[in-house]
Structure 1
Amino acid sequence: MPFWTFFGLQKGKASTAWPKRDQSAGQDGVLGMPRFEPEQCDPSCQECAQVCPTGAITVESHSNGQHRLEVDYGRCVACQLCVETCPTQAVKASFDWAFGVRDRADLLSSADPDQAVDQWRNPLESRVPFHRSLHIRHVDAGSCNGCESELQALNNPFYNLHRLGIFFTPSPRFADLLLVTGPVTYAMREPLKRAYEAMPGPRWVMAVGTCAVSGGVASGGYACGNGLEGVLPVDVYLPGCPPNPAAMIQAFLMFLDRMPQQVQRGRVVE
Structure 2
Amino acid sequence: MSLWTWFGLKEGRASTDWPLKHGEGGDDGQQGVLGMPRYDPSKCRPQCDACAEACVTHAIRLMPAEHAATAPEVDWGRCIVCQRCTQVCPTGAFTESEDWALGVSERLDLEWDEVVSERIARKGVERGRRAFSRSLHIRHVDAGSCNGCESELQALNNPFYNLHRLGIFFTPSPRFADVLLVTGPVTKAMHGPLLETWNAMPVPRWVIATGTCAVSGGVSGGNYACGNGLDGVVPVDVYLPGCPPNPAALIHALLMLVGREEQRMRGGRIER
Residue 64 of structure 1 deviates from its aligned partner by 5.9
- Structure 2 residue 51 is matched with structure 1 residue 39: no
After superposing the two structures, state which structure 1 stretch, 252-261 or 58-67, moved more. 58-67
- Distance across 2 between alignment mates of 1:196 and 1:103: 20
Counterpart CA distance in 2 for 1:121 and 1:24 is 26
2:159 alignment partner, SS class: coil
In angstroms, what is the RMSD of aligned CA positions? 1.4
Counterpart-to-counterpart distance in 1, 2:178 and 2:145: 22
2:174 corresponds to: 172
CA positional deviation for 1:122: 5.0
Q: 2: CA distance between counterparts of 1:242 and 1:4?
A: 31
> For residues 268 and 235 of structure 2, what CA distance do their matches in structure 1 show?
21
Following superposition, the deviation at residue 199 of structure 1 comes to 0.3
- The match for 2:211 is 209
Pick one of 100, 115, 121 that aligns with 2:103: 100
Helix, strand or coil: the match of 1:130? coil
How many Å separate the matches in 1 of 2:59 and 2:224? 20
Is the 1:40–1:90 contact (alpha carbons within 8 Å) kept by the matching residues of 2?
yes
Name the counterpart of 1:151.
153
Q: Aligned equivalents of 1:72 and 1:57: distance in 2? A: 7
Cα distance in 1 between the residues matched to 2:116 and 2:146: 36
> How many equivalent pairs are there?
268
- State percent identity of aligned pairs: 61
User: Where does the alignment leave 5 or more consecutive residues of structure 2 unmatched?
Assistant: none
User: What residue in structure 2 maps to residue 119 of structure 1?
Assistant: 120
83, 86, 109: which one aligns with 2:86: 83
Structure-1-length-normalised TM-score: 0.96
Residue in structure 1 matching 2:263, options 244, 256, 261 = 261
Aligned to 1:20: 20
Unaligned runs of 5+ in 1: none
User: What is the alpha-carbon distance in structure 1 between the residues aligned to residue 42 and residue 118 of structure 2?
Assistant: 18
Q: Deviations over 1:150-189 (max 9, x none)?
A: 0000000000000001000000000000000011100000
TM-score computed with the length of structure 2 as normaliser = 0.95
Contact kept, 8 Å, 1:61 with 1:68, in 2: the verdict is no
Aligned partners of 1:35 and 1:92 also within 8 Å: yes
**Structure 2 match to 1:219:** 221
Q: 1:62 offset after TM fit, Å? A: 6.6
Distance 2:33 2:69 in 1: 35
8 Å contact from structure 1 (residues 99, 263) kept in 2: yes
**Does the 8 A contact of 1:61 with 1:67 survive in 2?**
no
- Alpha-carbon offset, residue 3 of structure 1: 1.6
Sort the Cα spacing of 1:172 and 1:9 in 2 relative to 1 into closer, same or farther, 3 A: same
For the 8 Å contact 2:104–2:121, the answer to whether it is kept is no
Instruction: Report the secondary structure of 2:186's partner residue.
Output: coil
CA shift digits 1:59-105 (9 cap, x unpaired): 21374653232111111000000000000011000000110111111
Amino acid at match of 1:74: G
Residue matched to 2:70: 67
